[in-house]
Copies of this chain bind each other. A is one copy, B any other.
Amino acid sequence: VRSRCVLQKQVKIKTAAPAWRKEDRADQIYRIAAEIMCQKGYEATSMNDIADAVGLTKAGIYHYIRGKEHLLFEIMTYAMDMVDQDVIKPAKAVADAEERLRTIVSRHSKRILEVGGAVTILLEETSALTPPHRRTVRARKRAYFDLVRETLENLQAEGKLRAVNPTVAAFSLFGQILWISRWYRRDGTVAATDAAQDILEIAVNGVLQPTVGS
C-alpha cells in the first residue's frame, strides 16, 4: 500500500446490479479502479485486479472500459468533469473575486474531503497517458490554474491580495487543497465539515490582506 494513498473505507458495490444504467456502473468502476491504482501504483495494477475488485469477469469489464490506459484517461476525465461541474462552473458564475476565491477553495476542498483523494492523486499520473490524452488533461488543468491565478490578479487589482506573486499564491492554494488527498481519513477524528471550514479559513486568510477589525 502506497503511503501517499489514504486507505478509505471501500465503497461496497453489488456484483449483480442489473437495474443500473451503464453510466452509473462506469462511475463505480472508476472510483474503485482509482483506489486500486492509487494503492498498488498504476503500472502494477492489472485489468484483472480491477475486474476482481468490482466483481466482474475480465470479459465483463471490457463491456465498460477499453483498456488500462483508456481507463486511466477516463478516470481523469471523470475527475475533471466533476471539478468542472462542482467547482469551476459555480465559481465562474461569481462576479466578486473574493467570493469566487472562497467558492473555489470551499467547493474543491469539500469534494476531496467527501469523495476521497484517490482520483485526485491519479491526476498526477499523466506520464502513463498517450500524448493526445496527456495534452487534453494538461490543457484542462492549465485552464483551472489560470482561473485561480486570474482571480488572485483581480484581488491584487482591488488591493485585497497580500504583497505576494499571484502565481506563487495560486500554487500555495493548490498545495493546501490537493494535499487533503494525502492525509484526510474519512474514518478519522476530524469531521469533513470541520476540516473544510478550517482549510477555507487558513487558505483564504493566507492570501488576502487582513481587513480592519478582522
Contact = CB atoms under 8 A, between A and B. Distances in A.
Interface of A: 1-4, 41, 43-44, 124-127, 138, 162-165, 167-169, 171-172, 174-180, 182-184, 190, 194-195, 198-199, 201-203, 205-207, 210, 214
A202 B2 contact: no
A97 to B, nearest CB: 17
A198 B44 contact: no
A98 to B, nearest CB: 15
Contact of A1 (B127, B176, B198): B127
Contact of A198 (B3, B165, B178): B165
State the majority secondary structure of interface residues on A.
helix
Contacts of A201: 162-164
18 contacts: A2-B126, A2-B127, A3-B126, A41-B41, A41-B127, A163-B201, A165-B198, A168-B190, A168-B198, A171-B183, A172-B202, A172-B203, A174-B183, A175-B177, A176-B179, A203-B206, A206-B206, A210-B210
A125 B202 CA distance: 28
The count of identical subunits is: 2
Contacts of A167: 190
B172 A125 contact: no
Nearest to A162: B201
A182 B174 CA distance: 11
Given A41-B43, A127-B2, A172 B190 contact: no
Contact of A162 (B169, B184, B190, B202): B202
